[in-house]
Structure 1
């Protein structure tokens, strides 16, 4: 072994076992890390006025599980993965939507449409931008349980951010290990109950456009059994006309450790959205004239939806031996949706302007992992698993008689199943080199059982099965203790959703002949962190074939087709750091510090081959993929002039976004600025945090999101002007 090799190996083994790695040759850095850790641990206990002069906890090594499905430092993960900490007490934002916490992640576009009937628009490296409702092309998980259905469609609205601890975002080839529709993976994690007593938290807040939020969280336990319960509500009158919404959510979590090496986590979630009006999109002229307006069809047909979802699940982790462990999950739920669309759907061959859906879903998974070492003593991790998920939709369509339910136009039972098996290894074959690879085999089956058959509506019944093998291979060079270089290659696929196979060409029959999209992806990146600073950069390239795009629209029935040669390539840059100020005197305001972050994305996404669109027009090769911005920049700055007070500023910049395949309609680029402030104090044993924020400080008029290829030419959803939110939180 070369000189110093044993010392390097010891550090590598520490890293692989989850112990944060500290530069062994830098005593000043060691002292700095000790100061940071001590300050972070004391921060919650120090009374107001105590000096706090340390870098933000966000600059410390954070644990992630996304890339290799086992705990490791984010810095050492062989992929582009971010872990965003969420502090339910001291976040100066309502914590209602993922858009509030993911603005600082490069490669991610998450747009709050101000339309709670259609959910967020969430895309990773250009995957998911074409979804007109919900999340498509990006897989969602909450505490390890899928929030994406087997057909690849998911909902981000049910995530419990008011009680979250962190959000992980995995980008690039390793996302393919999660199966169908893995352009990226977003996982929300909630904290475990305390092991030494009881805690409680309450919050409330109000803001512009009739916003009001309130919630309560209780938790307690010991080292064997603990539980938490939180409930919250949010309501708004909406920035635009006919865009009011109300939400209620209840979440429970139980963690039991009945024996050494065994952990059982039980979860229950209830989500109810009894009101979510849909103002529909606007033409560019309408958006310029009055961005708050809703089109007449919205009020005529009372567009919007009601949703109620209940879900329960259990995850069991068991340590079999000193090297082997297994994990199992079982979950199930129901989702009831009633949606009124912006047309009547009275034509005999129409699907109807009202959707009534009754869904049951569930799944199970079993995985095994072994942590061992090679003959040279270098770490080696093996993992393998099986997953099965299924859903069954009872779907009815009715004529929308100006907001009331009319005659039946659709009666189907839709099913989707997803079976997957994966195997993965993580091998440190040299103290400075790590090889990670894996393969996943997936089989997705979509089925339609049509019960509404007549002369105008023929039998749409049928099924389609999609199979795929997705390999991925990556290498990491631990060049320095503060610098990692990595590269990955992989292949994935994305099936059509049940919505996209529902109608065949001409609106007759189903479209189960639609093919799954396949992609080849690669990336190369670097990660550097030292002295409270973190810098990451990545170059990526993805080529997709058989991408699903609209072919025609007839009487509310959108027919989809496959096109090849869709290219997504780009560059990501992320930086975050903390700067120490002077240490203050206890009782006299404490010390000051500055924390800042920046996330930049350059994305070149375009059609490589020409095709005919839904309007019968030829889309030339080279046209930009609609819904994608070429340049995106997010930046934030936080200044703590004194320990109890924090001031912050945020900036978001997006370049022009095309709304249609022909690139004839576009939302102009924009820059918006936000301000926030928070103040923490105590009353006896209770910690209180009061905060306020002003969004869109300059009252900029801009388009917040576009509805890609909207059939009526109403592509644009205006963002709110200047608005405020004030909140108060208390923790015991």
Structure 2
């Protein structure tokens, strides 16, 4: 076969648009060919294009980056849709770990970025419907994404992710589905092992010019481990207005409430071997737990100005209240306390303008210009933990963080089968601490720090044939310390304003091949970081951080999928060689040798999956997840052994096909063989409680009803 010409090349057949998330990074050029189908998204990228599923897959195939996309159907999915780990398992280059700890959120890493995080998400930028769920300081939260109403979950890996600015080792985006035409409703119930209970309902309403959906769910669990019970309620709302053919206005509302999620903490090696379901005595002694309430709104305007120009603007804001009881008292006068109380407000604005043109050769070219500004301000207090009760004040400060970014990118067909992508993002990140707890022994620790970074990226795609695309790209990025990471210094003299940002250089070469029944993707990557943020010491129960140079993350990703009749097999494999290139002195004066493995990363991760749908009503599937050994600390003296676990799932649909209620019964069985293993690690834990045991064999059953 002959290589395909570019989209809308004069007198020739067309190629498909690039994928929606690939356009996350820098592929806005395809809007030149079809400006009514695509609008710029945050960071100058394109919104999802409403086209048939085959065309969407074709756009991903044509993308100039490593990109995973997982479609979500809140009615037919044979899974509860409580954790992102349910959907991201088996995506090459991505590790999403359910910690069995609702007080600490998931651990999500992309190509080793984010693996060191002990709570929340670090090194991976999270977006929900284009609204950042990662704060300006780089700290992100994944739990507030409502998966029952999601349409797809996408991950962008590699250098092009750097166009998203601070902490973009990868980009994770969750997109809410569009309201159903003509309205409808859905209800669901589920129950499972260890007291898992889930109820939910959604409502769709409206007409083409004004439509919306509201989705609400409530989840509870007694916990597999001792002291790990939790409950949460989640509401997600979306209102879409189309006043004319060229304008779309989307209003978003997300309410999240998780009161008193118990924290079972990690276990030492001896505790893990003796009884993985236990919690350390300090968990009950200090009543370790976390309460979170977060309310957020967003507004997105997409406007086609003409045949060649379009704009996209976003505004959002929110409030987050958090109270967390830690596993120590923090009673010392110069301690920050063992109870954290935080009230945060945050907001942001973004604007992107995309213009389509043609090069002198007549081939399409598109450029995008934009600006993003995000801010947070929080009142952070610390109190003595008196056996689980709040005691005397030990910390009181006003923290602020903000980023202001400008970006430009261009995407051009430079030949009938060659496309070049280039982008530049200039970022400024500011953090300020205003100390309001000043005593004779605790002087004023107020201060500020600013970081600047210019992140260029460059990529090229060659359509070698209709079945084979080859691509390469490179770029630079950075990751600032979060407010929490810079909160303490070794001399206990207040915040560590001298902590530098980690800066990385990445490159990637990849190939994508697709045939009538099979699809294969292969990518090789290499990332070098200087100023990596690593532990330096533990002071009064808190970790102090420092910078270490020459950290390498390199590896290989391979993904294969096929569709052969009723069978859908899939396989994904990631080889990750992540290590410290230079030796340095770590926490407690320990020596971290050159060549030590980066903790929290497995050298080999794989998943084999097989789905079988003999009829339109039935679907069954099985998975085999395999992970290699993972070190728990920088000095590589503790590690979790590798493991292999098997899971099963099934779904059955019945009821009316066109009128009346439709029903979906589903079942999910995890860890079929009841293998004992560490599901995740608390990297570099100062007390040696590294191990977070994975749950044993567990079953969950559910029933959904849909009324259209």
Q: Tell me the TM-score range normalised by the shorter chain.
A: over 0.9
Match of 1:102 among 81, 88, 91: 88
Relative to 1, partners in 2 of residues 1:677 and 1:138: Cα closer, same or farther, differing over 3 Å? Answer: same
Q: Secondary structure at the match of 1:247?
A: strand
Q: 1:310 to 1:378 in 2, by over 3 A?
A: same
Identify the match of residue 130 of structure 1 among 95, 116, 120.
116
Tell me which residue corresponds to 1:562. Answer: 547
Deviations 1:496-520 (A, max 9, x none): 1001111112222220111111000
Please name the residue that 1:607 is paired with. Answer: 580
Q: Matched residues in 2 for 1:381 and 1:304: separation?
A: 50
Encode CA deviations 1:397-451: one digit per residue, 9 max, x unaligned: 0000001000000000000000000000110111100000100000000110000
Q: Residues 431 and 180 of structure 1: is their aligned pair in 2 closer, same or farther, counting only changes over 3 Å? A: same
* Partners of 1:713 and 1:3 in 2: CA distance: 57
Query: 1:14 is matched with which residue?
Result: 14
Aligned ranges 1:176-187 → 2 under 5 Å: 176-187=162-173
Counterpart selection for 1:701 from 663, 672, 676: 676
2:88 aligns to what SS in structure 1?
Answer: coil
Q: Partners of 2:218 and 2:3 in 1: how far apart?
A: 61
Q: Which residue of 2 aligns with 1:457?
A: 442
Cα distance, 1:559 vs structure 2: 1.0
Q: Answer whether contact 2:184 2:205 (CA < 8 A) is retained.
A: yes
Of 592, 598, 610 in structure 2, the residue corresponding to residue 625 of structure 1 is: 598
* Deviation of the 1:5 alpha carbon: 6.5
Alpha-carbon deviation of 1:66?
Answer: 9.0
Q: Whole-Å Cα distance in 1 between the matches of residues 557 and 42 of structure 2?
A: 19
Tell whether 2:233 aligns with 1:260. Answer: no
Match of 2:690 in 1: 715
Gaps of 5+ in 2: 21-37, 50-58
Q: Provide the rounded CA distance (Å) in 2 between the counterparts of 1:416 and 1:520.
A: 25
Instruction: Tell me how far 1:157 sits from its aligned partner.
Output: 0.4
1:288-299 correspondence to structure 2 within 5 Å: 288-299=273-284
1:376 is displaced (CA, Å) by 2.5
Match of 1:509 in 2: 494
Name the CA shift for 1:97/1:5 in 2 (closer, same or farther; >3 Å): closer
Contact 1:173 1:490 in 2 (8 A): yes
Q: Residues 278-297 of structure 1, C-alpha deviation per residue, up to 9 Å, x if partnerless?
A: 00100111111101000000
Provide structure 1 residue ranges, at least 5 long, that are not aligned to the other structure: 21-61, 581-592
1:190-220 per-residue CA deviation (whole Å, 9 max, x = no partner) reads 111133x111111110000100001001112
The CA distance in 1 between the partners of 2:201 and 2:39, in whole Å, is 27
**SS of 1:177 mapped into structure 2:** helix
Q: Scaled by the length of structure 2, what TM-score is found?
A: 0.93
TM-score of the superposition, structure 1-length normalised? Answer: 0.90
Please point out which of 139, 147, 154 is paired with 2:125: 139
Report if the CA contact (8 A) 2:5-2:15 is conserved.
no
Matched, 1:642 2:618: no
Pick the aligned partner of 1:87 from 73, 76, 81. 73
Q: Paired residue for 1:655?
A: 628
Alignment check: 8 A CA contact 1:267 1:313 kept: yes
Structure 1 equivalent of residue 387 of structure 2: 402
Match of 2:653 among 651, 668, 680: 680
Matched with 1:241 is 226
Aligned partners of 2:11, 2:584: CA distance in 1, in Å? 54
Structure 2: how far apart are the matches of 1:505 and 1:720? 37
Taking the aligned partners of 1:132 and 1:65, their CA distance within structure 2 comes to 30
Distance 1:422 1:74 in 2: 23
Question: How far apart in 1 are the matches of 2:255 and 2:399?
Answer: 24
| Alignment match, 2:462 | 477
User: Could you say which residue in structure 2 is the equivalent of 1:342?
Assistant: 327
Residues 18 and 668 (structure 1 numbering): CA distance in 2 closer, same or farther, change over 3 Å? closer
| Shift of residue 101, structure 1, vs aligned partner | 0.1
Distance 1:504 1:6 in 2: 55
Equivalent residue, structure 1, for 2:701:
726
User: Do 1:433 and 1:478's aligned partners in 2 also have CA atoms closer than 8 Å?
Assistant: yes
Partners of 1:694 and 1:382 in 2: CA distance: 48
Distance 1:490 1:368, change over 3 A: same
C-alpha distance in 1 between matches for 2:143 and 2:95: 16
What secondary structure sits across from 1:511 in the alignment? Answer: coil
Deviation string, structure 1 residues 443-501 (Cα, Å, up to 9, x no partner): 00011000001133222110000000000000000111111100001000000100111
CA contact (8 A) 1:64 1:74 kept: no
Following TM superposition, the consecutive aligned residue runs of length 4 or more in structure 1 with deviations greater than 6 angstroms are 2-8, 10-13, 62-68
| 1:670 lines up with 2:643 in the alignment | yes
Q: In the alignment, is residue 553 of structure 1 matched against residue 538 of structure 2?
A: yes
- Asked whether the 8 Å contact 1:13–1:379 carries over to 2, the reply is no
RMSD: 2.0
Q: Superposed, which structure 2 residues align to 1:296-335 within 5 Å? A: 296-335=281-320
Range with greater deviation from structure 2 (525-534 or 570-579): 525-534
In the alignment, the residues of structure 2 paired with residue 129 and residue 245 of structure 1 have an alpha-carbon distance, to the nearest angstrom, of 24
SS at match of 2:173: strand
Q: 1:616 to 1:482 in 2, by over 3 A?
A: same
Q: How has the CA–CA distance of structure 1 residues 5 and 312 changed in structure 2, closer, same or farther, with 3 Å as cutoff?
A: closer
Distance 2:486 2:400 in 1: 12
Distance in 2, matches of 1:242 and 1:674, equals 26
Cα distance change of structure 1 residues 67 and 151 upon mapping to structure 2, 3 Å threshold: closer
Cα shift at 1:381: 1.3
Q: Which residue of 1 aligns with 2:364?
A: 379
Partner of 1:352: 337
Matched-pair contact (CA < 8 Å) for 1:351–1:556: no
Offset of residue 13 of structure 1? 6.9
Q: How many residues align?
A: 677
Once the two structures are overlaid, the 10-residue window that deviates more, 170-179 or 499-508, is 499-508
Do the aligned residues in 2 keep the contact of 1:13 with 1:378 (CA within 8 Å)?
no
Q: Secondary structure of 1:299's match?
A: helix
